[in-house]
Amino acid sequence: MDIVCCTDMNYVPYCGVMLTSLLENNRSTGVTVHIIGNELTNEGHDALRRIVEKKYGQQTVFYPLDGKLLDAFPETCSYVSLTAYVKLFIADILPTNIHKALYLDGDLVVVGSLKDLWDYSLGGKAMAAVKDAHRRIEEDCRRLGVDFQREGYFNSGVMLLNLDYWRKNNVLQKALDFLAVHADQLPYHDQDVLNGTLHGQILPLPLRYNLHDCLFHTHRYLQPEDEALVEQELSPEHRVVIHFSSRRKPWGTRCLHPLRKLYFDYQDRTEWSGMRPKDTFKERCWRFNRRLSGWLDWVNGYRRIR
């Protein structure tokens, strides 16, 4: 499997936890991890190599993120962090002899085998991903010119990429053109750009491969007939990727995700074992009030998950 991730020095510990979870649950599969680093130092390289190469005997390839790539962005987008949009450049950064790659965000843990996902047939499409389910998703589709019922809107945290399609169809340039036109209308940044550029060319993956935050909430923005499927995919025997996709990450004090402990279980298998966010009385009060508000249905809280 060719796995792609992107990190900077601040994100190295979280990327390391993600890679530990991936390699721990895919020991029988050969893995090459392609790490696109934004100002990643030798210290960052060494920390990730200790996980991938020394602990699990797999391969790493590092690619420095060329700051000149920023020159390709429209002037109206000069404020945008290149790291946030690195997904657009993957097909151009990786060697042309790599035809397919699996991109994984750094804020997730892999809890099962990815073999079936890696073997998933793309059928000539640009990529495969899991559909998102956030509030006002239909409005977002209209904003991007996407047919919600026929095409859907996808989460970009886990993507099986057809790199040959991207290169042949110059997806990077199309994405940059889309970005230039819609620069001030992209609240979900790279995810909006990919959906707006590739709609109709994205295959839906089973939810288990990207169980993003929205699926764990009490109120889900789903069709009623999809509720039973979500419950099945969330069960321990089916779930494969847990994606902590909200702004409240497990390494922060305000994460209330019901599977947060899983994150720390994998973190404690790394050199960052025992590292926890510094708690305060104020933060404990915030969590209590938020949980109470969810129980009273004043906010959209989390469900209880096995």
pLDDT in tens, the chain (306 residues): 999 999 989 999 999 999 999 999 999 999 999 999 888 999 999 999 999 999 999 999 999 877 666 666 655 454 445 667 889 999 999 999 999 999 999 999 999 999 999 999 999 999 999 999 888 888 989 999 999 888 999 999 999 999 999 999 999 999 999 988 887 888 888 999 999 999 999 999 999 999 999 999 999 888 777 888 999 999 999 999 999 999 999 999 999 999 999 999 999 999 999 999 999 999 999 999 999 999 999 999 999 887
pTM for the full predicted model: 0.93
pLDDT at 71: 64
> What is the distance between the alpha carbons of residues 154 and 223, in angstroms, rounded to a whole number?
16
| C-beta contacts of 167-175 below 8 A and 24+ residues apart | 167/91, 167/92, 167/96, 169/126, 171/88, 171/91, 171/126, 171/197, 171/198, 172/72, 172/88, 172/89, 172/91, 172/92, 175/88
> What is the distance between the alpha carbons of residues 75 and 80, in angstroms, rounded to a whole number?
10
pLDDT at 56: 97
Sequence letter at residue 21: S
pLDDT at 79: 45
CB 233 within 8 A of CB 207: yes
> What is the distance between the alpha carbons of residues 27 and 256, in angstroms, rounded to a whole number?
30
pLDDT in tens, 50-64: 999 999 999 999 998
Tokens standing for 213?
């935050």
CB-based contacts of 175, cutoff 8 Å, min separation 6: 88, 193, 194, 197
The CB-side HSE value for 142 (13 A sphere, CA atoms) comes to 4
CA torsion sign, 199 to 203 to 204 to 205?
negative
Cα R_g (the chain), whole angstroms: 19
CB-based contacts of 55, cutoff 8 Å, min separation 6: 20, 23
CB 292 within 8 A of CB 206: no
> What is the distance between the alpha carbons of residues 191 and 193, in angstroms, rounded to a whole number?
5
Tokens standing for 183?
């620069």
CB 112 within 8 A of CB 136: no
> What is the distance between the alpha carbons of residues 172 and 72, in angstroms, rounded to a whole number?
10
pLDDT at 78: 47
pLDDT at 62: 97
> What is the distance between the alpha carbons of residues 121 and 141, in angstroms, rounded to a whole number?
26
pLDDT at 38: 82
